[in-house]
Chains A and B, each alone.
Chain A
Amino acid sequence: MSQPLVILPIHRYSPATHRHLNPGDRLPLDPLTITPYLSAMNTSTSQPVLQVENLDIFYGSFQAVRNVSFEVRPGEIFGLLGPNGAGKTSTLSAAEGLIKPSAGTIHVAGYDIRREPLHARASMGVQLQATSFQPELTVSEIIVLYGGLYGIKLTMDKVMTILKDIKLQDQAGKRFGQLSGGQQQRISLVIATIHNPQLVLMDEPTTGLDPQSRRQLWARIEVMRDRGHGILLTTHSMEEAESICDRIAIIDHGRIITTDAPQSIIDNNRERPEVIAASRRGKITLEDVFIGLTGADVRA
């Protein structure tokens, strides 16, 4: 046996490979080839990859998140949209296991984030808002490190293949801090998905990117969605929410106000007086609905 193998436990049809997969099929455990098979497992099941139920988060006496519940399904981009201080990052941090909620439960791919944190973390990939890799390490060393943290041994050839896929093969020997913002985001996304997680969490992934880099990142996120990953991203960009999210939840003052597909949210709220008052050019946009529902006051 030259490669570790996964033994497939269930029947699945793989749209990516156009064949039926049977229990007992032996599939290569190689990050570069396992993706279509993992996507086969995910696309056929309706079990959410992330379930957040009745989440409360306190910082001292301040309640940042109030009774938040939502779920992210496989093959879906779910957006958490809200103004500054709404509770988006707190919710995401709790899902990542970085902060302990005061109440509620979070399950990642069926694992309780508190009871089985390592299994939950192994099932998710995370792209944090701030770039946070060791500045002394090169791009290839960072990829090898994070591959190792997820149990994936990467040779330099495999690292170069990964970098070629995102057109950064020439940057392998550079320090992470020497890359442009768009390049850093591409590397961060690769590292977040290096172990083909069922769930990918992204905190304002396009902040600070130029339009071309932003569009490129959106395209990559959509490819991930099409491969069967469930994606939760936080954003306060209406354009981003409308362009790529399959469903969004609008969160304000720690509470979820509404959850639905972007167009449905617009359609369901276009008649509200506060939404009409917020509209600027007659046509109701998601931004108008957002301001109508959350208020026009500037947040600190």
Chain B
Amino acid sequence: MSTTSPTLIIDQPGTQTAPRILPSSREVFMSLFKADLTTQWRNRRASVMVILLPIVIVMSWKALIEKTGGAFVLSNAITLGLNAIGIMGYSNSIARDREKEIFQRLRVAPAPNWTIMGSRIAVQLVMIIMMTAIVMIVGYQYDHIVLSATGYAAGMLTAIAGGAVYLALGQAIVGRITNPETVQATSRLIYIAFIMVGMFGELGMLGNFINKAVKYTPYGTVKAIVSGALTPASWTNDTTMALLITLGYTAVFAIMGIRWFKWSSKK
């Protein structure tokens, strides 16, 4: 990095104030990102658990591949992983750090608010990319699921788009609820509800109505776009509609999360 950064503001002669130094947003963001990445790495046990479930799904559903196709298995596994990262991992870590007043300490520094939360989200995006890549690799190595290069690339992009829904939902949870224990309980409830209704509903085990309704839930739409992207030939108008609904969910949850969010849990 240049030795002449930080940006220096020189006062005019004759004034009585000392020069003030304002760091660039990029410098601030990179400092936060490095620290948040280190924190995530030090909490790697929790990160491993988040990645473990999708791997278990991929490996245990090997027998289903012949019947439903590799994209179905991979998309379910990836969607579950996105669910865990956004709803469980992200919301709990934000609630825990807010309770410790870590955000208040950061906010008294000249760090724009967007860099503080943006860094956290960037770390979760790294987790999403890692999880998706690992699931694809395990799918290839263990289940012999082979996709096209376009399929892998598009699958990664839609995983990121789908991850945004769950990150936004996690933000909405932590925006609405300040108590970290309540955040943990609520996020677990939503996570389990999505798995039960989403996975089993789609398999038709909960009746026709649930089977149809699941397609419009965050679980169903994300699964649909990931599945459609992994095998681009199967992308239909319904998949496009699912993508639009996914983006809509992201926008709604993000607006809720930003408007409701309080930087401190103290009243």
Contact = CB atoms under 8 A, between A and B. Distances in A.
Partners in one complex: yes
B5 A151 contact: yes
A132 B3 contact: no
B92 to A, nearest CB: 14
B11 interface: yes
A29 interface: yes
A75 to B, nearest CB: 13
Contacts of B240: none
Contacts of B28: 148-149
Nearest to B264: A98
User: For this complex, into which size category does the number of interface residues on chain B fall?
Assistant: 35 or more
A251 interface: no
B107 interface: yes
Contacts of A201: 108
Contacts of A10: 11, 13-16
Nearest to A24: B13
Interface in B10-33: 10-24, 27-28, 30-32
Contact of B22 (A98, A132, A145, A151): A151
Interface residues of A, number: 51
Interface string A50-66: 00000000010000000
Interface stretch (B69-77, B94-102, B151-159): B94-102
A132 B10 CA distance: 33
Interface stretch (B34-42, B197-205, B241-249): B34-42
10 closest A-B pairs by CB: A148-B31, A151-B23, A151-B6, A136-B42, A132-B101, A149-B109, A132-B105, A126-B108, A45-B16, A122-B110
Interface of B: 1, 3-8, 10-24, 27-28, 30-32, 34-35, 38-39, 42-43, 97, 100-102, 104-112, 263-264, 267
Given A45-B17, A137-B35, 7 more contacts: A2-B3, A7-B19, A9-B13, A47-B17, A123-B20, A136-B42, A145-B32
